[in-house]
Structure 1
Amino acid sequence: METKTPAKKATTKTKSSKTTAKTPAKKNAAKELKDLFEDSLKDIYWAEKALVKALPTMMKNATDEKLKSAIEDHLGQTETHVERLEDCFKALGKKAQAKKCDAMQGLLDEGKSIIEETEPGTVRDAGIIAAAQKVEHYEIATYGTLAAFAKVLKEEECLKHLLETLKEEKKCDELLTKVADTNLNSKAM
């Protein structure tokens, strides 16, 4: 009869969180939530301004009329989002300042790439919707976070503007889903 020997327990050493090296902060790093809030406003301000420049290219390359209309409507809303952010800066007693948003730059580059890598028509339209929804989801996450920060910081005027924009971003995402679902994706097959 064969006897089994108990398996040797694997021992793994894990570093204690106390011994893990921390990434050093930049010289002008945010020290308080208000600093992070203001820095994040600069980031989304850049993102919205970049989007104002990118949306006309998306609209020009779309072929579906509902998609073109949705992009055109959102372009107008995006211009309003820029103004609302400027109002937030004003409410904070700060000059509106943009700081390059690497995340939005990546999403816009991906959208440009989709346009370049697809033939005009329903496949490109489906790609434009996919790229646009990625942008919307990023904006929804950002505005939701900023609204939460504004609430805690008791920045009521900013909170009002941020929630209004958040609501519009969610509606745009829903509209894009509706456009995609109304046979556009099926036609792209």
Structure 2
Amino acid sequence: MKIENPNDLFIRLLSEANSAEKQLTRALPKMARAADDESLVEAFKEHLEETRGQVERIEQVVESDDSIRTKRLKNYAMESLIEEAQELIDGSEKGPVRDAALIGAAQKVEHVEIATYGTLATLAEQLGYQKAKELLAETLQEEKAADEKLTKLAKNDVNRKAG
């Protein structure tokens, strides 16, 4: 996809975000099954539900303006992060060390998503897509909250057990 203007960039990033969220809906159940700590298992399950909502929100962004159409693109960064998480699962036994590794892998994902949705919300505002901006800002806040939740879980519990 050729990017010639801010709108093209917006469409590209939105399409990549759509791909990333769909990939995550397949990866999060695997991460939940691989986790040992019940709070972490629940966090992954909750984030799966949030992620499904984020896919729906991207659809709402597309419906918010006739000029917004996502493309069929693969988000290779997300694919790589998911592969890294699978390697961590494959290379460790179920327990506290794997849980700590899973939190780290999940936070890498969150940080990429935070950067993506921050950029998308800013571009939407610049392009005059007010409804899209609001929807994307909502997802951005969810991603930041998920990152915070993972940080607290790591600091208050999981990392100590991995100790």
TM bin, normalised by shorter chain, reads over 0.9
Task: Give the TM-score of the pair, scaled to structure 1.
Answer: 0.83
Q: Deviations over 1:81-139 (max 9, x none)?
A: 00000111122324544410111111111111110111110001001000000000000
Q: What residue is the counterpart of 2:131 in the other structure?
A: 157
Q: Are 2:66 and 1:90 aligned?
A: no
Q: What residue is the counterpart of 1:46 in the other structure?
A: 19
1:103 alignment partner AA: A
Q: Which has the higher contact order (CA 8 A, sep 6+)?
A: 2
Number of residue pairs aligned between Structure 1 and Structure 2: 162
Q: Where is the helix percentage greater, Structure 1 or Structure 2? A: 2
Contact 2:18 2:58 in 1 (8 A): yes
Q: What residue is the counterpart of 2:45 in the other structure?
A: 72
Secondary structure of 1:63's aligned partner: coil
Q: How far, CA to CA, are the matches of 2:132 and 2:37 in structure 1?
A: 36
Q: Deviations over 1:25-44 (max 9, x none)?
A: xxx41111001101110001
Secondary structure of 1:125's aligned partner: helix
Structure 1 spans left out of the alignment, 5+ residues: 1-27
Structure 2 spans left out of the alignment, 5+ residues: none
Task: Give the TM-score of the pair, scaled to structure 2.
Answer: 0.96
Contact 1:90 1:96 in 2 (8 A): no
Secondary structure of 2:102's aligned partner: helix
Q: 1:81 aligns with which of 40, 47, 54?
A: 54
Q: Are 2:5 and 1:29 aligned?
A: no
Secondary structure of 2:57's aligned partner: helix
Q: What residue is the counterpart of 1:182 in the other structure?
A: 156
Secondary structure of 1:133's aligned partner: helix
